[in-house]
Structure formats: C-alpha cells, structure tokens
Structure 1
Amino acid sequence: MTTLADALSDPRSSARLRAVMAAGTEARPDDLEVLVERCAVEPDLQVREALTWSLVRLPAEVVVPRLVTELQRPEAQARSQALHTLSKIRDGSVFPEVAERLGDDDPGVRRTAWRAAVLLAPDDERAALARRLSRELGQGDRETRLALSRALVTLGEDVVAPVLADASARRGDAVREHVAETERLFADPDAGSALALARARREVALGRSRRASG
C-alpha cells in the first residue's frame, strides 16, 4: 500500500498534487509531519499551495506549534512556507515569532514575513510594525519594493501615512520614490508599483514614437 510519504516522493507533480489534495480532504492529524516536511522541499508552486490548504484543514492547535518550529529551519523554503501557512491560519498569538523573520537573510522569506506580519499583528502593534517595515523603504528590486508597499497598504492608511511622511522627510531620493509608489497604491491598489509605472512609461514612449513615425 502506498503511503503519503511515498506518494509525495513521486517525480510527477500531478501525482503529488493528488496525494496532497486527498490528505487535505481526509484531514488526518497523523499526516501533519509528512505534510510539513514536504513543504521544505516541494518544487512545484501548485503543490505547495495544496500543502498549505491541507495543513489549514488540520486542527490549529497541533499545526501552529509545528509550523513555528519551522521558522528556525536553515532551509529558506521551509521558513517561507511556514510563514505563508501561518498567515492563512490567522492565529495572532504567533505574531512575535513571525516578526522575528522580518529581517530574514533570505529576500523571499522576508517578503513572506512582511505579508504574514501585517495580517497577524494585533492592533496595538500595528504602528510599531509600520515603523519597522519603513526601514526597508527604497531597498531591493522591484518585486521586493512592491511587496513592501503592499504590506504597508494592508496595515491601513491611518497607521501608515504618518510613517511614510516621516520617512519621506528624513531620508533620500530612493526612499521618497518608494513612498510615492506606496501612496499611489492606497489610491489604486492594482496600479501603483514601480514595475507597472515603468511599463506604462515604455508604452507611452512607444506610442509617441509610433505617432511620430506615422
């Protein structure tokens, strides 16, 4: 008889996905360890999302402590997947452990920690979290900047606006540009990334050149 561990070792992602979906449907706490361990090594994004779904369906009182231990694993994917799953469970009691990963050495883990932290932060921690996240303004590539902007927007304009104003007044051009990008997201959550702005500028320039040549 094929065990869940055997099924999750299948080289076909479709087979692994079926196994994870079946485990989630049955939602047996005995599968917890196998599912969590697979999170650290699963290469397929769709299967990883199914792993999160399956873990969320298990009792939170057994899943949450197990995921918290994953935050100390050396593998970046293990930490990132644990943070992602904790953000879906929405147990605010783990906010301190999640906040410890805000400055993780791995950029992907940091971005996931930002998303998780803003969802889990208690009301009395939101302003402090906004200040902590604002230290990252103006840093990283476009994906990182957009992730930070979206995290800040999730905290709410009433919390974040004073922090952005202070950062813009005290720091350099890169920070001010990132602050402006974040403020645009408050007005239009679908449009305000540096990537979208760069694309729009290229399209405008291309349109102008076409009109000039036509």
Structure 2
Amino acid sequence: MTRTLQALEHSSSSVRMRAALAIGTSPDPRFVDALVERCATEPEPYVRETLTWALTRHSPALTLPRLLGELRSEHAQARSQALHTLSKIGDRRAWPSLTRTLLTDADDEVARCAWRAAVLLVPEDEASALAGVLATQLGRGGRATRLSLSRALIALGEVITPVLRAAMTDADPRVRGHAEDTERLWYDPDSGSEDAIEEARRVVALGTTGQEE
C-alpha cells in the first residue's frame, strides 16, 4: 500500500497514472482519501481522469462523503474535480450539495463542472428552479463556457423555454445573444460542432484544460 501511495505522488505522470489504474483495477477503501486528495493537486488532465475513474470503482458510500467535503474547498481544482467525479458516479444523494454558490462559482471550470453535474442529478420537480439559476449565467465567459452552459440548459428540456424567452429580452446584449445561440443549438445540435472542434484544437495546442481565451 505504501508503495502505491508513493507512486501517486511520483514526479512522473506516467507513474502516477499507473498507480491510479492499479487502484481502480483492485479497489481498496484505504485508497479513497489519497485519490481524492490527489485530484485536488494533479496537474495532468489525463491523470485526473484516471483518478476519477478509480474513485468510481469504489462504493459511493465511501466516496460521496469525501467528495462532498471537497465542494467546500478553497481550491478551485478540488471543487471542480469533485464535481466532475460526482457527475461520473451519478448518485442523486449528491444533489442537495450542488448549491447556487457552486452553480455560480467565480471559477469558470468549477461552474462548468457544477452545471454538468447538476443537470445529471437534479430531481424532476426541481428542474425548473435549476433552469432559473443557470439562466443567470447566460452571457458569461468565453466560447467554451457559453457552450457548456447552453448544453446544460438544453439537457433540462422544455422547462428552459420561459427562461430563454425572458433572456432574449434582457438589457445585456451578451445575455440576449447567448440565449439566442442556446435556442439555435437546441433546435440544431450540429450548430455547436464548429465551436466544439475549435475548442478541442485549442486544448490540444495549450496542452491543458479549463482555460478561457
């Protein structure tokens, strides 16, 4: 166990990834805390994804309390990665912890992860309220952030119609334009493909994720 824990902290990203793969292949409750802690500091996106996968291989009874605690962290990566992992686990007991504060987090990557998790975990009778909160973020950020929000809203279905209509009359042209783009993407999903391809190319060029232009 000690050797595996040390490997999670190794200077080589490939060693860290192999350690996470080994833990996920043979789940052991003793590694849950170490996996969550590493998620908060791991610089390589592909290693973080492997850490998340390893956490999904463990019982939610063990992982949920630890991940929910990370949502209160002062470190943005800890919050965003915990939200990302919760969306992968898909346990609706996490829903009450997806607060308005997280959904409107000042860090774009945290907010984007919160939006994705929320639309997956929201109870049906709270979808309208969630749409209202998400609509307050229309016009925010660069292309990647706007596209993430549009897709989150669209995932909620017909309940977004009133908030989109209201946003289209907003005094802020950024809000109006984003609402119109969201409606366009709703009726023509392929209209977002160009932005998605451009974002993917940008990520490859930068060698990282979660940054805006």
- Give the Cα separation in 2 of the matches to 1:123 and 1:65: 24
Shift of the alpha carbon at 1:190? Answer: 3.7
In structure 2, the residue matched to 1:9 is 9
Q: Supply the distance in 1 between the matched residues of 2:89 and 2:181 (Cα, whole angstroms).
A: 30
Contact 1:101 1:113 in 2 (8 A): yes
Distance in structure 2 (CA, Å) of the matches to 1:170 and 1:141: 19
CA distance in 1: counterparts of 2:48 and 2:139, whole angstroms: 30
Structure 1 residues 118-127 or 162-171, which shifts more? 162-171
Q: Which moved more, 1:89-98 or 1:19-28?
A: 89-98
Give the corresponding residue for 2:116.
Answer: 115
Aligned pairs (5 A) from 1:51-70: 51-70=51-70
Q: Deviations over 1:142-170 (max 9, x none)?
A: 221111111111111x1112210121124
Cα displacement string for residues 121-161 of structure 1 (whole angstroms, at most 9, x for unaligned residues):
100110000011101111222221111111111111x1112
Matched, 1:136 2:117: no
Q: Higher relative contact order by CA 8 Å / sep ≥ 6: 1 or 2? A: 2
Deviation at 1:171, TM superposition (A): 3.5
| TM-score under structure 2 length normalisation | 0.86
User: Structure 1's 190 and 14: CA in aligned 2 closer, same or farther, altered over 3 A?
Assistant: farther
For the Cα contact (< 8 Å) 2:104–2:137, is it kept in 1? no
Pairwise CA distance, 1:60: 0.6
- Cα distance in 2 for residues equivalent to 1:137 and 1:191: 18
Partner of 2:186: 186
Q: Which runs of 5+ in 1 are unaligned?
A: 200-214
How far apart, CA to CA, are the structure 2 residues paired with 1:193 and 1:168? Answer: 23
Which aligned segments of 4 or more residues in structure 1 are displaced greater than 6 angstroms?
A: none
Contact 1:71–1:79 at 8 Å: present in 2 too?
A: yes
Give, as a single letter, the amino acid of the residue that structure 1 aligns with 2:120: L
CA distance in 1, matches of 2:142, 2:53: 30
Q: Which runs of 5+ in 2 are unaligned?
A: 200-213
The two structures, once aligned, show a CA RMSD in angstroms of 2.0
Q: CA deviation at 1:195?
A: 3.9
- Give the match's secondary structure for 1:191: helix
Q: Which protein shows a greater Rg?
A: 1
Cα distance in 1 for partners of 2:166, 2:132 equals 10
Q: CA deviation at 1:193?
A: 7.1
Structure-2 separation of matches of 1:66 and 1:49: 17
Are 1:17 and 1:47, in contact at CA under 8 Å, matched by a contact in 2? yes
Identity of aligned residues (%): 52
TM-score by length of 1: 0.86
User: What is the distance in 2 between the residues matched to 1:2 and 1:94?
Assistant: 31
Tell me which residue corresponds to 1:30.
Answer: 30
- Say whether the 8 Å CA contact 1:185–1:193 is kept in structure 2: no
TM-superposition CA deviations, 1:165-187 (whole Å, max 9, x none): 12112443222211111112112
Q: Do 1:41 and 1:77's aligned partners in 2 also have CA atoms closer than 8 Å?
A: yes
The 5 Å alignment of 1:74-93 reads 74-93=74-93
| Cα contact 1:181–1:193 (8 A) shared by 2 | no
Matched, 1:126 2:127: yes
